[in-house]
Structure 1
């Protein structure tokens, strides 16, 4: 992973005039690092990841150094073959499950190979060498596994700092977290910054078992004798997620607080929802064998937020922001339920709900029911629905890396790559668009083009960067003022 993530001003991708105003450029002080990004020791770059990698390699060298010549000739090749098998199995599983929107870096597979070699070396040579060599061999296993975790984290940006990782692992309270019972004592006071409230939303409309969810209440919510009917943004994270991810991994609250302060304390209510029920349950926000996530998000959440916090029930004042899988959810839920949501921001989402290829998706998410798949396929939904009355969407996606752009401009290389395009059944799945020269934006282009045919106002913005939480945070930060204005809260310089 690079030490910094390039963020450039978002620009319209489509040639026709954008229906949505361009999202404002990130403030200068946030372009190099988002608020909170550098609080604590970085896990994405700097000395700590380097020390962990060095320790893993060093212990592995000691583990192999204890082998005699006979052991080297016999068991070292076995260890290397085992390491290769571990890499192949890991890559095959990742590819088969459609777990990655971007190809994993070579460094990740190298780290996986080191871990496989360390495990094999510890097993086959546990009875040889001196005691300190045996200790080194045993320690090599957890340290090489830790190194895999660090490299994986560098790829996706899940924990930007050691502090963020520790806070998540120890379930520390979120910034400005307040109990629901304490809100009454803050009524009609100047709270300075907003409050985040953990909530247990009833499952009466879905029977979807979910974890604790969180509601951000801006300073304006506390003003007056009773809560104002503020608009709401539903915040949905990626495939592997917790409801706190936008706060802990995205670290967006610094930007939200700054914006609220500059806008007289007025922002929408943010609802950090649980779309999976558990960390590794990829529901893609649909109803199916993995749970009725769609019913929870479209029935349970709005009813609870409106009744508990006095939020507006006007669909024009409800929006959805989603990242990666959550971006797919944002589009899908909005076009399926225009009577509930009027605006969406899709940050690097797929063409539709995806759990591998289309065939795998239908089986895994819908129990093999093609009609159920069609009911949640946004392109099919839009075509069937016909013209929408007042639905607006913003797609914020990644431009391809510079090396890929250079290859795309090489006619010979372009011709060779076009001959190797992915199977049509996989287009839109796991981030695969079947479009070599536009990276992840192929799905966004197709969705927006279809949306425009049925009066969905939309535009596609592109930003250079990686498929990481830091990209998601930057996209949210740049679109938040526009979304706020779109939902009816005045913002200086932006019309609704």
Structure 2
């Protein structure tokens, strides 16, 4: 059992440390890998230079293209990966080929260098992949996730009763095992954040609940470890006398790389789990309200798609959603790929879970509201934010360069999904918001600079939380300030 932290414990130092996204460490490892590989190759014999070295190059190039094809065929990413990912994939495969093909002709020291070059080039592949999605900002966070250490502010569920009536300046995180009675969906441990007011309130039904859904490759703790959701919510609570939403960090995949898109199908009944298992459990175990007016959903990337889909399909369960860089609908590639892989070839199931189709056939929604947050396509103005009505083009398409701003910004992935970047997620948010508006849903599309990374998601959540919490608590907040001046 984990020892609960003292009241007031926070994330100081947890989101700081040796950066894996930029700075000297990634660059140093890449330079070292390149030097080792060059040393492993060497000049050697004429036969090596004219036969085996070209073969190793061909192996590397083939591996890079094979990886690109695999990602495209399986629908693993809706936006292009950085070119450096394929380069390092090819380099790593080439390093393996150099090791195997050149073993007999190499001296003992070159064999040792060849052996060292393989894992180091693979590390560089991982570094670029991590820079693309911003999954592990620091070495400390990566180590905490790999070793499955306790989450900051995590307390044993058994101690919740003893904590009642004791004032706290921060909330608490508790791991829960939610029965899969309604879904038969095999899932991992999930987590619940309880705000300070939970421990002093006698009526927990007064607190809203927000379901937090992560991206395609995920663990239920990602919004906590990487997305900074708990300190953001603690900060909101401090400004509101300890009152903030209960957050439930759900498992929408069951495993790290199972992209369910929160639908029911061959990959598992994820939708049934979220609506039929998680929601009733929060009501029964933590005394949360069953009123849909008290329930919202926040999703990032794949989770953003889930947030819209669940809200428009189940207005009797959820009243408010925040879609952070989601897609037009559940997708794992083209429509044909999606029907085949996500729904086992059932086109009717595709239509059943497609939000645009649901909106087109649904009666007006009297009490639903949504917030879409997407990249403006640049990061030259840290902190800049904008809002525009659905259907209008972005007011500031040229906010800086493509990599995203700030010291913690990720470097690749979906940065171009917004205005000026050549992608389509902002246009899709416009399309969804326009269709939702026609059905009576109050919605707005927001833009901020940055890449398709967890750091972008964290900033978007911080922006949307006051609006969402206020709406769920019955004290609506303005959606956003006016867009910044372009001067």
CA distance in structure 2 between the aligned counterparts of 1:253 and 1:66, rounded to whole angstroms: 55
Distance 1:234 1:342 in 2: 12
Please say if 1:476 is aligned against 2:461: yes
Partner of 2:62: 85
In the comparison of the two structures, how many residue pairs are matched? 440
Give, in whole Å, the separation in 1 of the partners of 2:378 and 2:357.
Answer: 31
Of the candidates 61, 67, 76, which is equivalent to residue 38 of structure 2? 61
Structure 2 equivalent of residue 420 of structure 1: none
Counterpart contact for 1:177–1:197, Cα < 8 Å:
yes
Give the counterpart of 1:449 among 410, 420, 434. 434
What corresponds to 2:323 in structure 1? 346
* Cα separation, partners in 2 of 1:481 and 1:89, compared to 1, 3 Å: same
Q: Does the aligned pair in 1 maintain the 2:293–2:318 contact within 8 Å?
A: yes
What's the CA shift for 1:402?
8.4
Partner of 2:279: 302
* 1:207 to 2:192 alignment: no
Q: TM-score, normalised by structure 2?
A: 0.86
* CA-CA distance at 1:224 after TM superposition: 3.9
2:235 to 254, 258, 279: 258
1:123-134 alignment to 2 at 5 Å?
A: 123-134=100-111
Partner of residue 413, structure 1: none
Deviation per residue, 1:204-229 (Å, 9 max, x gap): 11111100000000000000456453
Partner SS, residue 198 of structure 1: strand
Instruction: Pick closer, same or farther for the CA change 1:296–1:394 going to 2, 3 Å.
Output: same
**CA apart distance, 1:386:** 2.0
Q: Is the 8 A contact 2:14 2:141 kept in 1?
A: no
**Distance apart, 1:96 and its partner CA:** 1.8
Deviation at 1:489, TM superposition (A): 6.0
Could you say if the C-alpha distance between residues 38 and 317 of structure 1 is closer, same or farther in structure 2, counting changes exceeding 3 Å? closer
- The equivalent residue for 1:380 is 357
Q: How does 1:2-401 map to 2 (within 5 A)?
A: 39-65=16-42, 67-225=44-202, 227-401=204-378
Cα distance in 1 for partners of 2:224, 2:475 equals: 25
Deviations 1:282-327 (A, max 9, x none): 1000001111000000111110001111111110110000000000
2:43–2:49: 8 Å Cα contact kept in structure 1? Answer: no
In structure 2, how many angstroms separate the alpha carbons of the residues matched to 1:352 and 1:194? 34
The change in CA–CA distance for 1:154 and 1:438 in structure 2 (over 3 A counts) is closer
- Contact 1:229–1:310 (CA<8 Å) still a contact in 2? no
The higher relative CO (CA closer than 8 Å, separation ≥ 6) is in 1
**Residue aligning to 2:425:** 440
Residue 434 of structure 1 and its aligned partner are, at CA, apart by 12
Contact 2:466 2:477 (8 Å CA) reproduced: no
Q: Which residue in the other structure is 2:5 paired with?
A: none
Distance 1:489 1:456, change over 3 A: closer
**Secondary structure of 2:297's match?**
strand
SS class of match (2:174) = strand
Structure 1: runs of 5+ lacking an equivalent: 1-33, 410-428
- Is the 1:36–1:251 Cα contact (8 Å) retained in structure 2? no
Aligned to 1:462: 447
Normalised TM-score (structure 1)? 0.84
Distance 1:432 1:191, change over 3 A: closer
Q: After superposition, give the CA deviation of every residue in 1:29-84 in whole Å (9 maximum; x if it has no partner).
A: xxxxx986851101001111112111211110111016323211111111111110
CA contact (8 A) 2:260 2:267 kept: yes
| Counterpart contact for 2:376–2:418, Cα < 8 Å | no
1:370 and 1:36, CA in 2 relative to 1: closer, same or farther beyond 3 A?
farther
Alpha-carbon shift at residue 254 of structure 1 (Å): 2.3
- Residue of structure 1 equivalent to 2:386: none
Runs of 5+ unmatched residues, structure 2? 1-10, 381-393, 399-413, 481-487
Q: Aligned Cα RMSD in Å?
A: 2.5
Distance in 2 separating the partners of 1:432 and 1:483: 24
What's the CA shift for 1:491? 8.0
Shift of 1:269: 0.3
Aligned equivalent of 1:17: none
Cα distance in 2 for residues equivalent to 1:164 and 1:57: 26
What secondary structure, in the 3-state scheme, does the structure 2 residue paired with 1:385 have?
coil
Secondary structure of the structure 2 residue equivalent to 1:215 = strand
The corresponding residue for 2:6 is: none
SS in 1 for 2:206: coil
SS in 1 for 2:78: coil
User: Runs of 4+ in structure 1 displaced over 4 angstroms?
Assistant: 34-38, 431-439, 489-495
- Cα distance in 1 for partners of 2:351, 2:15 equals 44
